[in-house]
Amino acid sequence: MKTPVRVTSNTQIYDRTARAAAPNSGDEHTGYLQRGSKEYQLGSLALFAAGLATFAILYCVQPLFPIYSQEMGLSPAHVSLALSVSTVLLAVSLPVAGFLSDRIGRKAVMAISLFLSSLCCLCTAFAPNFTALLIIRAIQGIVLAGLPAVAMTYLAEEMEEKSLGFAMGLYISGNTVGGLFGRIAVSTITDHYSWRWGICILALISLLASVYFWRSLPPSRHFKPKRMNPKAIIGLFAAQFRDAGLVCLFALGAILMGSFVTLYNYLSFRLIEPPFQLSQTLVGWTFLIYLVGTFSSSWMGTMSDRLGRGIVLWINVMLMLVGVLLTVSAHLTVVIVGVAVFTFGFFGSHSTASAWVGKRAAAGKAQASALYLLFYYVGSSIGGTVGGLFWVRFEWTGIVAMISVMLIISMAASFLLTHILPQRARLSA
């Protein structure tokens, strides 16, 4: 799944003033990595591979929920915890990983995260029961946080400013490709062998990616260890809750991601049942719909500059609502179109809301972004699990009703941000 992350440490993304003052920024004298150089290529590809491995590991279990439910005799809500427990612990671990990287270094934290999460993935394949699987996935969520919490900071610190955009885009695309690869690869291998073989092979690929990352990523040249002031850090986080507009955006992130994960968590259950009866392989390939989000995120970013964030956010939430209502159809083509429209709207609304957080935060922008991600992943965990209760009782109609209510609340929050909250919200819109 395309899930874009922001920096969670108390380090700014990059220091524009310092770089502007450097007469040879990006050359051998300043040590910044320039596009076209060998080290730049190695660093960009290393982070692409790292992002791919991280998000493949995180989301590989999502298409396996029906299999877990059948093999272990568990309810859909119960098996959804295999993803929810990882995302919620990843969320709360992001700030910790960011602060840790301020002390011991960016590359070290990312490399440790990759190796440990790959080992956890391998252990998942040998879990004797679902309880053991949940414990491993919980540990995995904690150690996974090291890469998304630090990668963008490393890029901003080490890349020459004019070369930063391409490297950042490549890293984010690695996240998207990783989410797709993990779901599709595990689903396909499961159809021919078993889910344990699928996860085992994915873990070995992730270990190879970890080795490649460690050997290829250039060492940090501009990192300086920082002393942490817990009181000041807590103050910066607490200050974000004094702005009702930011709180509204945090809630939006939770609701939107909760509705998105709910749909994809239980789409697999619906597609393997009549009238569709798709194979596990075909269910995995339906996640290719994620690719529409790659276009949606960038295009809606441009549209928000022209029309304003409030109206663009409202339009995208409306698209999500239309999309989820289309999935009620008994025709597979209509369902796929509905999921595509829903996905397009989600990535557009998420990119708009996350950018709005950075614009609205008067101080502590990194902390505001970290809180948005925290709510975002917690919403994913809660929504994804609660949706199982609706599926058990009302099947797909219940899922659609739950998501529709969440989206109506999101539309109200969008209106509130644009028209009701203080003028600063309207100016930033």
Which domains, from first to last, does the chain contain? 1-228 (1.20.1250.20), 229-429 (1.20.1250.20)
Q: Which residues pair with 33 in a beta bridge?
A: 159
Higher pLDDT, 325 or 351: 325
Q: Is the pLDDT of residue 15 over 50?
A: no
Mean predicted confidence (pLDDT) in 71-77: 92
Q: What is the mean pLDDT of the chain?
A: 85
pLDDT tens for each residue of 130-167: 999 999 999 999 999 989 888 877 887 888 878 776 78
pLDDT on residue 59: 94
**Cα gap 51→400, rounded to integer Å:** 31
pLDDT tens for each residue of 177-202: 888 899 999 999 999 899 999 999 99
The band of 75, judged by pLDDT with boundaries at 50, 70 and 90, is very high
Mean predicted confidence (pLDDT) in 6-26: 39
pLDDT on residue 426: 41
pLDDT on residue 422: 53
Higher pLDDT, 219 or 334: 334
The band of 427, judged by pLDDT with boundaries at 50, 70 and 90, is very low
pLDDT on residue 14: 36
pLDDT tens for each residue of 334-388: 999 999 999 999 988 887 887 788 778 776 666 777 788 889 889 998 998 899 9
| pTM of the model as a whole | 0.80
C-alpha closest to that of 418 among 310, 317, 308: 310
Helix, strand, coil share (%) of the chain residues, nearest 5 = 80, 0, 20
DSSP 291-344: GHHHHHHHHHHHHHHHH-HHHHHHHHHHHHHHHHHHTTSSSHHHHHHHHHHHHH
What 3-state DSSP class applies to 159? strand
**Cα gap 177→48, rounded to integer Å:** 9
pLDDT tens for each residue of 100-115: 888 888 899 999 999 9
pLDDT on residue 94: 86
**Cα gap 137→147, rounded to integer Å:** 16
> Taking each helix axis from N to C terminus, what angle separates 130-144 and 146-158, rounded to the nearest 10 degrees?
20
The band of 57, judged by pLDDT with boundaries at 50, 70 and 90, is very high
pLDDT tens for each residue of 231-246: 777 777 788 888 888 9
Q: Is the pLDDT of residue 41 over 80?
A: yes
